[in-house]
């Protein structure tokens, strides 16, 4: 039984590595694997290809891995927190909260010091704050609303409110900032430059680290609040930590890539289906790998046509059917 | 030896500055190696008392001591090492086997990573064996019957290895064979493992048979504690479940209904058929009076009224209907 896990992990790891290189190689300009390896080992062959690889495709592929891993882990934690298999950062309005934070920074940026805004820290802090506030509100409501579908509708409403506030801000902003924001909402993995990576990577690592730190308590929470208390889990503290970790992951990623739909809800289910377990010790790393692999696939598809497709569109094509499948399965 | 004691405990709810006291000044003692059943009518505070003792809920005043330590001052993990719980909430987890569920009971004992060592594995398997679920250990909990599921939750509590186990209505939603089995199992576990097991239940007759001690909680008279038979003799059951519609029958430990009896008959004869005959007559509204106008002689093959032999209860009741 248990020997299955290492084999599956090894297989998933290989797939992810394979997709990572495929993502580097394919695109509007094809770069061969041998060329990629040459560039990596510092023997950069041709100047343009090495430029494309190092400053465009490599950060993009790394961002795909980080985004996939973060959103999946955030989704997994939220599904356990709300004991609701349909919970995910996008559906429950957390991404919209992050958007609101981003909108405030992007379009009201004239007030803030330039160095703060351009380093990416302002963007990410605002997004994390926005994400956490919405998440706290949803947690608050979840005490009153037990019904799974009702909670989703409440999350949707919070998302709508955040969206409306964004529209209000847009109305009062200058057209250039609005255009910048609209492009951001399409979602793109390529906007993360190396300087942004310095900001994003630590935030994501802290978030995922927290998730792993909480894995045992997350297992306890699966039994429900009272049983978890009975097992010695301090439920309130754990909830707060989950909110912070989810805010860091969902907010951090959304700040730079824009909202990416359905990865958070779909991947934990794929991980559960593959590993047939509910233990977070297994599901967390499984979600990291599956999420990274899925977003790499999405990115490969999105860069295939001459004009790059928005990543959000591709991920929705994968994720939305999975949600329909979950709802049908529950009947 | 008492493990858990309460001192002037008052239980109830306080919401928005409004307090509603359900029970007050409770001084209770829970002893090791005993199965204690908490029974009482709806609304008397069974669940509230259990939740307060388990410190899932704050007492309004007073305190609960376990081994001389006040429970409200303990850390979450320290509490989890003293009390394990089986609650009424239904546990729905996808992709979890009985083994994994029971393993969750080891949480308070394991390190933060929660690895299952060989020693832990033994404890988990032993707990599963105690509730007779070995053959289903690696089955998904969603595939279990309600009785098996409840036994799995009890195994989880056993794996937690605490001196006290509290169960909130563990026999609710179960059919009769499963109810009896769970009660017997808990009775045996209390004696075998020397744990104190406290459970709330609506099953009066089962509780009277299985419990070493009963905490009888009533709306107006607080909590009476004692060996079941003593509480019967003292008339506490009748007092706790006061009603015009039924009475606690001390002769058989059941509730009997108070039927409106307007007609009278005189019955005598065979003893084994007598009990059921009397039941049927009472339901039909007949009071049994010596020397009444109609006399029924109960024999081994049927009933006789005058010279007429009647083969079934149905026809007997019909006959009485016509003759009176």
Domain of residue B176, CATH code: 3.40.50.300
pLDDT at A130 over 70: yes
Considering only CB atoms, B85 lies closest to which of A230, A275, A279, namely: A230
**B108, A231: Cβ pair inside 8 Å?**
yes
- Judged by CB atoms closer than 8 Å, whether chains meet at A277 and B110 is answered as no
Query: Considering the domain boundaries, does residue B246 fall inside one?
Result: yes
> According to the model, what pLDDT value does residue B139 have?
92
pLDDT at position A109 over 70: no
| ipTM for the assembly | 0.83
User: What pLDDT shows up at residue A105?
Assistant: 84
Q: Which residue of A232, A272, A277 is in closest CB contact with B77?
A: A232
CA of A231 vs chain B CAs: smallest distance (Å)? 5
Nearest CA in chain B to A281: B113
Residue A237: which domain range? 4-330
The set of residues, in sequence order, having a beta carbon less than 8 Å from that of A226 and lying 6+ positions away, is: B56, B85, B87, B89
Domain hosting B309: range is: 263-323
- Give A168→chain B minimum CA distance, Å: 38
Same-domain pairing of B99 and B78 = no
Tell me the β-bridge partners of B303.
B298, B310
Contact B95 A222 (CB under 8 A): no
- A246/A111: higher pLDDT: A246
Query: Do B319 and B239 lie in a common domain?
Result: no
Polymer length in residues for chain B: 324
**Residue of A234, A275, A278 with shortest CB distance to B76:** A234
Lowest-confidence range among A174-178, A216-220, A279-283, B252-256?
B252-256
Q: For a pLDDT cut of 90, what percent of chain A falls above it?
A: 35
Contacts of B54 in chain A (CB under 8 A): 230
pLDDT at position B81 is 94
pLDDT value of position B299:
86
Same domain, residue pair B24 and B100: no
Output the six-digit token pair for B258.
Answer: 């108070």
Residues B133 and B221 in one domain: no
Contacts of B232 (CB under 8 A, 6+ apart): B208, B248, B250, B253
Task: Identify the band that residue A44 occupies on the pLDDT scale cut at 50, 70 and 90.
Answer: low
Domain boundary residue, one of B156, B176, B209: B156
Note whether B96 contacts A85, CB cutoff 8 Å. Answer: no
Q: Among A167-181, A198-212, B2-16, whose mean pLDDT is lowest?
A: A167-181
Q: Which residues of B touch A (CB under 8 A)?
A: 54, 56, 75-81, 83-85, 87, 89, 91-96, 100, 104-105, 107-108, 110, 112-114, 138, 160
Query: Could you tell me whether strands B164-168 and B35-39 are parallel, antiparallel, or unpaired per DSSP bridges?
Result: unpaired
CB atoms A232 and B79 under 8 Å: yes
Q: What is the pLDDT of residue A111?
A: 60
Q: Do B188 and B231 sit in the same domain of this protein?
A: yes
Residues 6+ apart with CB under 8 A from A61: A20, A23, A24, A296, A299
Element housing A175 (H / E): helix A175-186
More confident residue, A45 or A193: A193
- Secondary structure of chain B as H, E, C letters: CEEEEEEEEEEEEEECCEEEEEEEEECCEEECCCEEEEECCCCCCHHHHHHHHCCCCCCCEEEEEECCEEHHHCCHHHHHCCEEEECCCCCCCCCCEHHHHHHHCCCCCCCCCCCCCHHHHHHHHHHHHHCCCHHHCCCEHHHCCHHHHHHHHHHHHHHCCCCEEEEECCCCCCCHHHHHHHHHHHHHHHHHHCCEEEEECCCHHHHHHHCCEEEEEECCCEEEEECHHHHHHCCHHHHHCCCCCEEEECCCCEEEECCCCCEEEEEEECHHHHHHHHHHHHHCCEEECCCCCCEEEECCCCEEECCEEECCHHHHHHHHHHHC
What distance in Å separates the CA atoms of residue A88 and residue B149, rounded to the nearest whole number? 29
- The verdict on B248 and B104 lying in the same domain is no
Q: Is there a single domain that holds both residue B201 and residue B64?
A: yes
> For B191-196, what is the mean pLDDT?
93
- Asked if residue B88 belongs to a domain, the reply is no
DSSP assigned state of A53 = I
- Separation CA A154–CA A142 (nearest Å): 9
Assign A318 a pLDDT band (cuts: 50, 70, 90). confident
pLDDT, residue A149, reads: 72
Report the pLDDT value the prediction gives residue B216, as an integer from 0 to 100.
92
The domain tally of chain A equals: 1
pLDDT in tens, B201-221: 988 888 988 999 999 998 878
Query: At A228, which CATH number?
Result: 1.10.3470.10
pLDDT at position A113? 60
b/e B174-202 (16+ beta carbons within 10 angstroms → b):
beeebbbbbbebbbebbeebebbbbbbbe
C-beta atoms of B89 and A281 within 8 A: no
CA distance A75 to chain B (A): 16
Question: pLDDT value at position A123?
Answer: 82
Task: Give chain B's domain count.
Answer: 3
Residue A1 has pLDDT above 60, yes or no: no
DSSP single-letter state for residue A248: I
Report the alpha-carbon distance of residue B250 to residue B215 in Å, rounded.
18
pLDDT value of residue B121: 92
Q: What is the pLDDT of residue A187?
A: 67
Q: Do B107 and A234 touch (CB under 8 A)?
A: no
Name the average pLDDT for chain A: 86
Q: Are residues B227 and B99 part of one domain?
A: no
Question: SS3 for A123?
Answer: helix
Contacts of A278 in chain B (CB under 8 A): 93-96, 100
* Residue reference for tokens 């100047």: A47
- pLDDT tens digits, B258-297: 777 778 888 888 888 888 888 888 888 888 888 888 888 8
Q: What does the pLDDT look like over A28-43, one tens digit per residue?
A: 778 888 888 877 777 6
Contact: B76, A232; criterion CB under 8 Å: yes
pLDDT at A13 over 90: yes
* B76 closest CB neighbour out of A227, A229, A281: A229
Residue B124 is predicted with a pLDDT of 94
Classify residue B140 by burial, with Cβ atoms within 10 Å: 0-12, 13-18, 19+.
Answer: middle
**Is pLDDT of A213 > 90?**
yes
Based on the domain organization, do B140 and B274 belong to the same domain? Answer: no
Answer yes or no: is pLDDT of B45 > 60: yes
The confidence band for A218, taking pLDDT boundaries of 50, 70 and 90, is very high
> Which residues, at least 6 apart from B268, have a Cβ–Cβ distance to it below 8 Å?
B295, B296, B297, B298
Enter the DSSP assignment of A109.
Answer: G
Same domain, B51 and B147: no
Q: What is the pLDDT of residue A330?
A: 66
- Residue ending a domain, among B123, B156, B189, is B156
Is the pLDDT confidence value at A110 over 70? no
Residue A223 Cα, gap to closest chain B Cα (Å) = 6
Q: Which of A23-37, A78-92, A210-224, B306-320 has the highest mean pLDDT?
A: A210-224
Q: Tell me what pLDDT residue A169 has.
A: 86
**Residue from A210, A220, A230 whose CB has the most chain B CBs within 10 Å, to mutate:** A230
Provide the sign of the torsion angle of the four alpha carbons B192, B193, B197, B201, taken in this order: negative
Q: Which two tokens stand for residue A72?
A: 């999946």
Arithmetic mean of pLDDT, B170-194: 90
Residue showing tokens 């330590």 = B69
Domain boundary among B138, B156, B174: B156
More confident residue, A245 or A322: A245
Report residue A331's pLDDT band, with 50, 70 and 90 as the boundaries: low
Q: Which of B313, B304, B312 is nearest to B268 (CA)?
A: B304
Q: Is the same domain home to B241 and B280?
A: no
B contacts of A223 (beta carbons < 8 Å): 91, 93, 104
**B chain contacts of residue A279, beta-carbon cutoff 8 Å:** 100
- Residue B259 makes CB contacts below 8 A (sequence gap 6+) with B282, B283, B285
The pLDDT assigned to A322 comes to 81
Residue B196 tokens, joined: 């104190």
A-chain residues near B158 (CB < 8 A): none
Under an 8 A CB cutoff, do A226 and B105 touch? no
Whether residues B22 and B52 fall in one domain: yes
Residue A119 binned pLDDT confidence (cut-offs 50, 70, 90) = low
Distance CA B96, CA A272 (A): 10
Which two structure tokens, joined as six digits, stand for A122? 């302002």
Residue A2 has pLDDT above 60, yes or no: no
Residue of chain A with shortest Cα separation from B106: A231
* CA–CA distance, A231 with A225 (Å, rounded to integer): 10
Does the structure show a pLDDT above 60 at A309? yes
Residue B230 lies in a domain: yes
Interval B91-138: pLDDT, tens: 888 889 999 999 999 999 988 787 788 888 999 999 999 999 999 999
Q: Does residue A72 register a pLDDT over 70?
A: yes
């Amino acid at each position: 039984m248990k020997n299955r896990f290492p084999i599956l992990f090894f297989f998933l790891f290989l797939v992810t590595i394979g997709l990572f290189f495929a993502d580097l190689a394919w695109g509007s300009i094809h770069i061969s694997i041998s060329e990629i390896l040459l560039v990596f080992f510092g023997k950069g062959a041709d100047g343009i290809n090495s430029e494309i690889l190092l400053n465009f495709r490599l950060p993009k592929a790394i961002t795909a891995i980080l985004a996939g891993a973060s959103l999946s882990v955030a989704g997994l934690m939220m599904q356990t927190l709300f004991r609701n298999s349909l919970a995910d950062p996008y559906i429950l309005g957390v991404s919209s909260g992050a958007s609101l934070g981003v909108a405030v920074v992007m379009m009201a940026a004239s007030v803030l010091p330039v160095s703060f805004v351009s380093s990416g820290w302002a963007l990410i802090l605002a997004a994390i704050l926005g994400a956490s506030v919405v998440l706290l509100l949803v947690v608050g409501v979840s005490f009153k609303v037990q019904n799974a579908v009702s909670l989703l509708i409440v999350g949707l409403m919070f998302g709508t409110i955040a969206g409306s506030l964004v529209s209000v801000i847009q109305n009062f902003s200058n057209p250039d900032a609005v255009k910048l924001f609209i492009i951001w909402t399409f979602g793109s993995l390529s906007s993360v430059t190396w300087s942004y990576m310095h900001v994003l990577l630590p935030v994501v690592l802290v978030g995922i680290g927290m998730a792993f730190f909480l894995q045992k308590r997350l297992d306890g929470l699966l039994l429900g609040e009272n049983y978890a208390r009975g097992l010695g889990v301090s439920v309130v503290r754990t909830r707060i930590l989950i909110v912070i970790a989810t805010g860091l992951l969902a907010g951090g990623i959304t700040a730079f890539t824009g909202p990416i739909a359905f990865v958070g809800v779909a991947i934990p289910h794929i991980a559960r289906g593959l590993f047939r377990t509910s233990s977070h010790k297994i599901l967390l790393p499984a979600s990291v790998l599956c999420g990274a692999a899925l977003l790499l696939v999405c990115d490969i598809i999105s860069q295939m046509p001459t004009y790059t497709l928005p990543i959000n569109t591709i991920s929705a094509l994968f994720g939305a059917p999975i949600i329909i499948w979950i709802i049908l399965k529950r009947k | 030896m008492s493990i858990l004691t309460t001192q002037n405990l008052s239980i109830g709810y306080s919401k928005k500055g409004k307090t509603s006291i359900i029970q007050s000044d409770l001084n209770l003692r829970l002893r090791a190696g005993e199965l204690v059943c908490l029974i009482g009518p709806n609304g008397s505070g069974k669940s509230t008392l259990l939740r307060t003792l388990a410190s899932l809920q704050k007492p309004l005043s007073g305190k609960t001591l376990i081994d001389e330590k006040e429970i409200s001052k303990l850390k979450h993990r320290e509490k989890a090492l003293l009390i394990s719980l089986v609650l009424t909430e239904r546990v729905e987890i996808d992709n979890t086997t009985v083994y994994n569920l029971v393993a969750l009971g080891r949480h308070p004992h394991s390190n933060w990573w929660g690895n299952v060592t060989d020693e832990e594995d033994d404890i988990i398997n032993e707990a599963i064996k105690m509730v007779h679920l070995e053959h289903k250990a690696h089955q998904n909990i969603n595939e279990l019957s309600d009785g098996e599921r409840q036994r799995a939750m009890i195994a989880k509590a056993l794996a937690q290895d605490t001196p006290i186990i509290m169960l909130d209505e563990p026999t609710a939603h179960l059919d009769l064979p499963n109810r009896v089995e769970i009660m017997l199992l808990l009775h045996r576990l209390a004696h075998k493992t020397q744990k104190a097991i406290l459970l709330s239940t609506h099953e009066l007759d089962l509780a009277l048979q299985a419990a070493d001690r009963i905490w009888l909680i009533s709306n107006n008279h607080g909590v009476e504690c004692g060996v079941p038979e003593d509480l019967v003799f003292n008339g506490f059951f009748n007092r706790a479940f006061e009603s015009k519609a039924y009475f606690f029958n001390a002769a058989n430990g059941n509730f009997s209904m108070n039927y409106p009896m307007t007609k009278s008959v005189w019955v005598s004869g065979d003893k084994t058929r007598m009990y059921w005959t009397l039941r049927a007559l009472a339901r039909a509204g007949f009071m049994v009076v010596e020397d009444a106008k109609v006399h029924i002689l109960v024999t081994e093959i049927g009933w006789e009224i005058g010279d007429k032999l009647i083969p079934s209860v149905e026809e007997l009741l019909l006959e009485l209907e016509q003759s009176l």
